[in-house]
A and B are shown apart, each in its own frame.
Chain A
Amino acid sequence: MSVETVRWPRPKGGGAVPFSAFFWRYPWLRPLLLLTPPLVWFVVIYLASLATLLITAFWTIDPFTTQIVQAWNTLNFERILEGEAYRAIITRTFLMAALVTVTDALLAFPFAYYMARVASRRSQTLLFAAVLLPLWASYLARVYAWILILNHNGLLNWSLTSVGLPAADIGYTNTAMWVVFSYIWLPFMIIPVYAALERVPESLLEAASDLGARRWRAVRDVVLPLALPGVVAGSIFTFSLTLGDYITPILVGGAGSSFIGNVIYSNVGIANNIPFAAALAIVPVAIMAVYLLIAQRLGAFEAL
C-alpha cells in the first residue's frame, strides 16, 4: 500500500497535522515525551553528579597550586584506609548513625502504636501536629536550643543540682550528639512506623485473641512483624540523615567528635582538596548502598 491511501482528517485552518492523530500513529511517543524531562533531570543531576564524584576521587591535587591534576591513581583511597584518624572518624559516624537509629526506633514504636491503634481520632490529630511541630522550626534553632539545655549552666545541670543531684556535664560530648540527633530525626521514624501500624488489619488481632493470644503476644507475633518494614523505612531516614550530617558535630560535639561530613567540609573549604573529599564522600554512599540493599530485602520500600 502506498502513502496516498491513508486518509488524513481534514486539517482545520492551517496545514498542520493535529497532534492527537500524530500520537495515535506513534503510540510510544506520548510516554517518551512525558518521561523525558524527569529522566533527563534524574540522569544529569543525580547520576552524572555521582559519576563525577566517583571520577574526581581518582584524581589528586597539586599541593602547590591546589589545582586538580587529572592523573588516575588510588592515593586518596589509600590515605583513607591507612589513616588511623580517618578510620576512627568513619567508625564513629557509622556507630552514631546506628545508635541514633536504634534509639529512635525504640522511642517511635510505642508512640506510633498509641497514635495508630489506641488514640481517638481527635488526639491522633493532636499527636500528629505535636510530632511535626518541631519540623516547622529551623534545624539550627533546634540544635542551639539543645546547646542551651546541655551546657554547663544549662537547664539540665540546673535541674539536676536543684534536686540535689550531681551535674551531668554532657554538653559538647558525643553523648550530647547522640541526644540531639535522636531528638532531631525522631519524626522521620514515627511517621513511617505509624503508617505501617495503621495498615495492620484489626481482624488479624481479633483472630489472634480468638486463638488465645494475650495482648502482648499479639503485638509481638502479629503487629511487630507487620510493622517491621515501617521501622526499616524510618531507619533509612534516621541512618542516612545522621550519616551525612556535619552541623550538629560542629555545634554540640566536643573534641574528638568529627564526622565524615566535617572532614569532607574541611577538605573542600579549607584545603581545597576536592579529589580527597570526593573519595571520602564515597564512603557514606557505599555504606548507604549496602544499607538500602538490606532494607529492600526487609520490605521497607513497600512501607514507604
Chain B
Amino acid sequence: MKFRALAALALLAVAACGGTGGNTGSTQQQPPTANIKPPDAIGAGEGQLNLIAWEGYVDKSWADAFTKQSGCKVSAKYAGSSDEMVTLMKDGGGSQYDMVSASGDADLRLIYGGDVKPMNTKLIPDWNNFQDYFKAPPYNTINGIHYGISLQWGPNTLLYNTKKFPNAPTSWSVIYDSANKGLITVPDNPIQIADAALYLSKTKPDLKITDPYELKQKQFDAAVQLLKDQRPLIKKYWALASDEITLFQNGDVMVGAAWPYQTIQLKAAKAPVDDTIPTEGATGWGDTWMLATKAPHPNCAYLWTAYVSTAKVQALQALFFGETPVNTQACAQMEALQAGSCRQYHADAPGSYFDTIKFWKTPRAECGDGSTNCIPYDQWVAAWTTIKG
C-alpha cells in the first residue's frame, strides 16, 4: 500500500518536472494529506456541490449551464478575503464544503493545514492546454503532488494617473519616492512586504533576495524598513478594490499598487489612468480550485473543475473579472467575445513572461533551499501592524 502511494508520487513528480522545468529539485516537507490517493475516474455526480469562492466566481452565466449538463446543483458561499477562505475551510471543509477557489497566499496554509487533498490532473482534460507554469505552480504543487487545479491569474500592477504621469513610470520607485507624498496607495495586506522585497531584490542586490516570499531575517528587516519609510507617503492603505477606485476617481491619490480589475473599472468610468508592469517585475496572484479533504460531493467537484477549465468558460470568467485564463486555448474565445482582449490580459504571453511575475505564496519558515530560518507568515502579519501603525 505504502509502496503504491510512493510509486504514484514518483510518477506524478516526474510528470510535473517534465512540465515546468523550473522545479528546484529539493524536496519540501510533505503535507498531511500527501498520501491520500486521488480517484482514477469520475463517478456519477452527487447532485449537489458546495463551493467557497470569490464573489462572482460561480456566476450564473456559466454555473447554470454546468448544472444543466451535470445535474450538480451549485451553491456558493462567497468569501471576502483569503483569510476568510482559510477559516471556512478549517477541518477539511467540515464535511460541508467541497471546493475553494483559493489564491496563492492561502494555498500553502490550506495544504499544510491538511484541509485540502491531492487531485488527479488526468481527470481534467483541459489541464494539458494550460500554460506550463500553471500546470504545477509552487503555490499549489508540492513535491509533484497537485493540491488543486489552477484557474485564473493576474499581475499586481502599478496604477497611475496619466495627468500626473504623462509617461508610464518604469520603476516601482515612484511609490517609495517622497516627491509623491500623500498621493500613494498600496493594498492593506501583509503580502505587500513581498512587493517591497521584490523591489529590493533589484535595487539592493547585496541583500541577495531571490524569492520575495522566502526572506531571511536581514532581508525581511530591510523590506519592513522600506515600508516603514513609505508610511508617511501613503494616503491610504486600501482594503477593497472599490476603495482604491474611489481614491483614484476623487483625485486623492495619483499612483499605487493595484490589480487589472481596478484599471478596467476606472477606464470604463473615463478616469485618466493607466497601468504598467515596471522593470523590476511584479508580484501576482494565481487562483486554484482546491478539493476539501472531507468533500461530501467529490464527483461533482471534479466535474466542476473540468468544466471551468474549458476554454469557453475560462474566457467568460476572464472577461467577467479582468483576469487571465490559464488555458492557452481560451485566447481565441476571448477574442471572439471582445477583440484585443487576449493580448490586453497577456493570455497569449510566452513562458518567459512568467519569469517577471512572482506569484503569491504563503511565506513559511521553510525556505526553498531546505533551511528553516525564513520568516513565517504570522511574523509578516505582526510586522504589517507595525508598518501601517
Contact = CB atoms under 8 A, between A and B. Distances in A.
Interface of A: 61, 63-66, 83-86, 88-89, 147, 151-154, 171-172, 250-251, 253-258, 263, 266-267, 269-273
Contacts of B381: 266-267, 270-271, 273
Nearest to A147: B246
B378 A61 contact: yes
Contact of A83 (B81, B236, B386): B386
Contacts of A61: 378
Interface in B73-108: 81, 83-84, 86-87
15 contacts: A85-B386, A89-B385, A153-B250, A172-B252, A251-B243, A254-B234, A254-B236, A255-B231, A255-B236, A256-B388, A258-B389, A263-B385, A266-B385, A269-B81, A269-B83
B181 to A, nearest CB: 11
Contacts of B190: 266, 270
B261 interface: no
B3 to A, nearest CB: 28
Contacts, number: 86
A63 B365 CA distance: 9
Contact of A255 (B234, B239, B251): B234
B377 interface: yes
A63 B376 contact: yes
Contacts of B237: 255
A254 B235 contact: yes
Q: Give 4 closest A-B pairs by Cβ, nearest first.
A: A271-B381, A85-B386, A255-B234, A256-B389
Contact of B112 (A65, A152, A272): A65
A250 B236 CA distance: 9
B389 A85 contact: yes
A199 B184 CA distance: 53
Residue picked from B190, B235, B376, B377, most chain A C-beta under 10 Å: B235
B19 interface: no
A88 B386 CA distance: 10
B388 A271 contact: no
Contacts of B127: none
Given A171-B250, A266-B190, A269-B81, 12 more contacts: A63-B376, A65-B112, A65-B113, A66-B113, A66-B378, A86-B385, A151-B246, A152-B251, A172-B235, A255-B236, A256-B389, A263-B385
B1 interface: no
A85 B84 CA distance: 25
A258 B87 contact: no
A151 B250 contact: yes
B385 A255 contact: no
B378 to A, nearest CB: 5
Residue picked from A64, A83, A86, A263, most chain B C-beta under 10 Å: A64
B366 to A, nearest CB: 9
B375 to A, nearest CB: 10
Interface in B342-389: 364-365, 376-379, 381-382, 384-386, 388-389
B18 interface: no
A251 B235 CA distance: 12
A255 B235 contact: yes
Contacts of B239: 250
Nearest to B80: A269
Nearest to A265: B83
Nearest to B81: A269
B389 A272 contact: no
A198 to B, nearest CB: 43
Interface string B169-193: 0000000000000000000101000
Contact of A172 (B188, B236, B379, B386): B236
A151 B252 contact: yes
A142 to B, nearest CB: 16
Contacts of B294: none
